[in-house]
Chains A and B, each alone.
Chain A
Amino acid sequence: MAILRPVFYLALLALIIAAPFIFPDFRTQLATLWVFIILSMTWDMTGGQMGYNSLGNILFFGAGMYIAAVVTIALAYDVGEYTNAFGGGTYKFTTTQYFLGMGLGLVFAGLLSAAIAWLMGYLLFQFRGPYFAIGTLGAAIAAGELVSNWEWVGGGQGIALPVYPGDFDVGKLFFYYLFAATGVILFIFLRWLYGTRFAGAINAIRDDEEKAEAMGLHTLRYKQVTWAISAFFVGIVGGISGFQNIHFEPLETAFQTINLGIFMVVCVLLGGKGTLWGPIIGAILFHVIKEVTWNYLLGWQWVALGALIVITVVYFQDGLMGWLARVKPEWFGERVQKKPDLIAEPAE
């Protein structure tokens, strides 16, 4: 087993790198898959590991998108004028401006999203259970509505970013690897994090917050830090998505509360809450189901997705990993005693 593990991870890494060449027609879908995986993993940090079910993590996605775009534009032009012209012909970006803007923009997107999460967490983490979910949902919807009225960042029309300065297909690969790198870093980070005392603390908050506090944990600080870390990654992914989409607008793309904002929750539930691999598997499953319904049930795809949400939540909430943990506990490191044959099961 000890030798198998690095081999498995290396094979996985090779698959990640080779995937866009194995499936050259699906490069955009593969990039979107990474968005789902990263958002699910970050949602699971608060939802699964800490027991705080947020419905508003999409806020950081939208915030990251806007921050990255505004930083990129501000480096070269006046933002108000640029959004007014709506990507009109006079605004050209050189290659250096594009990549410098993107790099700086993504850093700012991550850091500012984390800061927003920290500040909002101070207020929102006073709520428990469903009130937290409703409060975060409200915050995300409100953010979208406010941004769509903010003329300086383009109002309801959104922002049109410059196109990738190079070959179109290379651009697709570039965004795929950008997403994949973020995802791999996030996975390595979480794998390390879930083994530390910090994870123990947030798990304690999930299991019994009053007791955790009585044990001397500064629970609010732990909750804020966890949400800020998850918002950091969500903000970066949002920023990359902004560049990938080229043009985005506030309600349908950036703060898409009832699409992506709920999908990430469903992904996690589908795969299994509170596990490292659950969100990843769930995201892959969900994405495949979504693409299939999109292709074959045109018009009814949303109904099918709504039904999928209801069925997952009502009948299958433990998810795939939860189900496996019940059926095969020994796979998860739990020692299972084989029942001695002498003692027969009492007949029912």
Chain B
Amino acid sequence: MDQIISNIGLLFEFPVVNLKILIDGIMIGALFALAAYGLALVWGVMNVKNLAQGDFVIAGGYVAWSLTNIGIHPFLGIPAAFIVMWGIGWITYKLVIKRVIERDLFTSLLATFGLAIMFAQIMNLMFGSDTQSIDLGYDTLHFGPGGFVDVPISKLIGVIVALSLAFGVIIFMKRSRMGQAIRATAQDARAARVLGIDTDKVYAFTFSLNSAICGAAGAIIVMAWVIQPFYGITYSIRAFVIVTAAGLGNLPGVIAAGLGIGAMEQYGAHIFGIGYQQAIAVLLLLIVLFFRLLQQRRKRQVLQ
């Protein structure tokens, strides 16, 4: 308890600590937002709640990591992870997801949970259970009083790539034919089918796009942070927190919520200690759920 109070005191005594925490949080939050964006897409279009989201992220990280090991530049790992995870997402869709779209949501939740266990274990068998990361060998920028705030260039690059990818996807959804078809299917799948849209193709495309986005996010994460086969579930939970907080089909909201959750998690880790970081991510989910519940209550509705 004393520890917590002194940690909070530190925040007021040295305001620059706040800046450091905020920057750290926003940088990791940008990656959370990317994974959450894919989830919002799949959830909104196909009504599938994908609990294997985080494992796609980690899998993308391992794609980039293994390419670096055979001597390919890490930046090429991002498009490579995008493409490889696109393929894995497509196979997953054809084998499993296709059969759960029409079913109730609990089915998709459990089926993707099974997938998450499989993915995590296969990665564990292939790459071992050590934490891995790619060292880009870039410098760290220092600024603020006494150079207290440090921003590694690799993280900065990662965030920029993540944001440009997110905007690329937003423009794609707005402008392209396929993006239009996806949005039409999300609004009313039956009407879209009547109007000649091949919804099965749209679903396959959406799910593959989601897993590709996650893969790219993972390739960025492995450059600036660390990955491990069993880290997936925490990314899944964060994606759920963000999407539940922002609501479906609200892209700026997803990005804002992602950055906010990144920052809140860093604050929580600073105040309560690093051991509570996982717990904070999960407790945020419950808080967001109850907050949404209170909102619905006012309209005499339930969250369903």
> Interface residues, chain A, CB within 8 Å of chain B?
53, 55, 123, 126-131, 133-135, 138-139, 141-142, 145-146, 148-149, 156, 258, 262, 265-266, 269, 299-300, 302-303, 305-310, 313-315, 317
Query: Is there a chain A Cβ closer than 8 Å to B221's Cβ?
Result: no
* Closest-CB distance, B27 to chain A (whole angstroms): 23
Contact A135 B106 (CB under 8 A): no
- B125 near A135 (CB under 8 angstroms)? no
Task: Given the known inter-chain contacts A128-B303, A133-B106, A309-B110, please indicate yes or no for A142 contacting B117, CB distance below 8 A.
Answer: no
Q: Does B217 sit at the interface, judged by CB under 8 A?
A: no
Tell me if B192 is interfacial: C-beta within 8 Å of chain A: no
Known contacts: A134-B289, A138-B285, A142-B279. The answer to whether A310 contacts B96 by CB under 8 A is yes
- Given A149-B279, A305-B117, A306-B118, CB of A131 within 8 Å of CB of B125: no
Q: Quick check: B113 and A149 within 8 Å, CB to CB?
A: no
Whether the Cβ atoms of B106 and A149 lie closer than 8 Å is: no
Q: Are A145 and B276 in contact (CB under 8 A)?
A: yes
Contact in complex: B282, A313 (CB < 8 Å): no
Q: Among A126, A134, A156, A306, which residue has its beta carbon within 8 angstroms of that of B114?
A: A306
In the complex, what's the smallest C-beta–C-beta distance from B105 to chain A, in angstroms?
4
Listed by A's residue number, 13 A-B pairs whose Cβ atoms lie within 8 Å are A126-B293, A134-B240, A134-B289, A138-B282, A142-B282, A145-B279, A156-B275, A299-B125, A303-B125, A305-B117, A309-B113, A313-B114, A317-B107
Interface centre among A138, A146, A149, A269 (most CB of B within 10 A): A138
Residue B237 CB within 8 A of the other chain = yes
Pick the residue among A123, A131, A314 that contacts B96 (CB under 8 A).
Answer: A314
Whether the Cβ atoms of B279 and A129 lie closer than 8 Å is: no
B303 touches A149 (CB 8 A): no
Contacts known (A128-B304, A149-B276); A134 close to B285, Cβ less than 8 A: yes
With known contacts A126-B293, A299-B125, A315-B99, A149–B282 Cβ distance under 8 A: no
B279 touches A146 (CB 8 A): yes
Structural contact, A310 and B278, CB atoms closer than 8 A: no
7 additional A-B residue pairs with CB within 8 Å, beyond A55-B109, A138-B286, A303-B122? A123-B290, A141-B278, A145-B276, A145-B279, A145-B282, A299-B125, A306-B117
Q: Which of B103, B111, B240, B290 is in CB contact (< 8 Å) with A310?
A: B111
Note all chain A residues with C-beta closer than 8 A to B114.
306-310, 313
Contacts of A141 in B (CB 8 A): 237, 278-279, 282
Residues of A contacting B: mostly: helix
Q: Once bound together, how far apart are the Cα atoms of A276 and B172, in whole Å?
A: 52
Q: Is B109 a contact of A133 with CB atoms below 8 Å?
A: yes
B125 touches A258 (CB 8 A): no
Q: Judging by beta carbons under 8 Å apart, are B302 and A126 in contact?
A: yes
CB distance from A175 to the nearest CB of B (A): 28
Which residues does B use to contact A, with CB under 8 Å?
49, 96, 99-100, 103-107, 109-111, 113-122, 124-125, 233, 237, 240, 244, 273, 275-276, 278-279, 282-283, 285-286, 289-290, 293, 302-304
Q: How far is the CA of A331 from the CA of B119 in the complex (A)?
A: 40
Residue of B nearest to A302 (CB): B121
Considering the complex, give the chain B residue whose CB is closest to the CB of A146.
B279
For B121, the closest partner residue in chain A by CB is A302
Total residue contacts A-B, CB cutoff 8 A:
119
Residue of A127, A133, A146, A266 near B303 (CB, 8 A) is: A127
Interface of B is mostly: helix
Chain B's nearest CB lies how many Å from the CB of A20? 31
Q: How far is the CA of A55 from the CA of B114 in the complex (A)?
A: 13
Which of A129, A139, A269, A306 has the most CB atoms of chain B within a 10 A radius of its CB? A306
Say whether, besides A129-B105, A265-B110, A307-B114, A142 and B293 are in contact (CB < 8 Å): no
User: Do B118 and A131 have beta carbons less than 8 Å apart?
Assistant: no
Q: Give Cα A149–Cα B240 distance, bound, in whole angstroms.
A: 24
**A141-B278, A149-B279 given; A310·B118 CB < 8 A:** yes
Residue pair B302, A127 in contact (C-beta under 8 Å): yes
CB neighbours of A310 from chain B (8 A)? 96, 111, 114-115, 118
> In the complex, A123 Cα to B285 Cα: how many Å?
14
Which A residues lie within 8 Å of B125 (CB)?
Answer: 299-300, 303
A45 to chain B, nearest CB (A): 16
Bound Cα distance A265, B233 (Å): 18
Closest Cβ–Cβ distance, residue B17 to chain A (whole Å): 22
* B110 adjacent to A129 (CB under 8 Å): no
Q: For the complex, what is the distance from the CA of A87 to the CA of B96, rounded to whole Å?
A: 47
B115 touches A130 (CB 8 A): no
Across the interface, which residues of A come within 8 angstroms of B110, CB to CB? Answer: 262, 265-266, 269, 309, 313
Inter-chain CA distance A317–B104, complex, in Å, is 11
A-B pairs with lowest CB-CB distance, top 4: A309-B114, A306-B118, A145-B279, A128-B304
**Which residue of A has the minimal Cβ distance to B283?**
A142
How far, in angstroms, from A266 to B240 measured CA to CA in the complex? 22
Shortest distance between the CB of A84 and any CB in chain B (Å): 17
B277 to A: closest C-beta gap in Å: 9
Task: List A contacts of B275 (CB < 8 A).
Answer: 148-149, 156
> Could you say which residues of chain A place their CB within 8 Å of the CB of B109?
55, 130, 133-134
Shortest B265–chain A CB gap in Å is: 13
A53 x B282 contact (CB < 8 A): no
The answer to whether A53 and B106 touch (CB under 8 A), given A123-B290, A128-B302, A134-B289, is yes
Contacts of B293 in A (CB 8 A): 126-127
Once bound together, how far apart are the Cα atoms of A171 and B245, in whole Å?
50
Given A139-B286, A145-B282, A258-B233, residue A303 in contact with residue B118 (CB < 8 A): yes
Known A-B contacts A134-B289, A135-B286, A315-B99; the reply to A129 vs B118 at CB < 8 A is no
Q: Which residues of A are found within 8 Å of B302, using beta-carbon distances?
A: 126-128
Known: A138-B237, A145-B279. A129 touches B304 (CB 8 A): yes
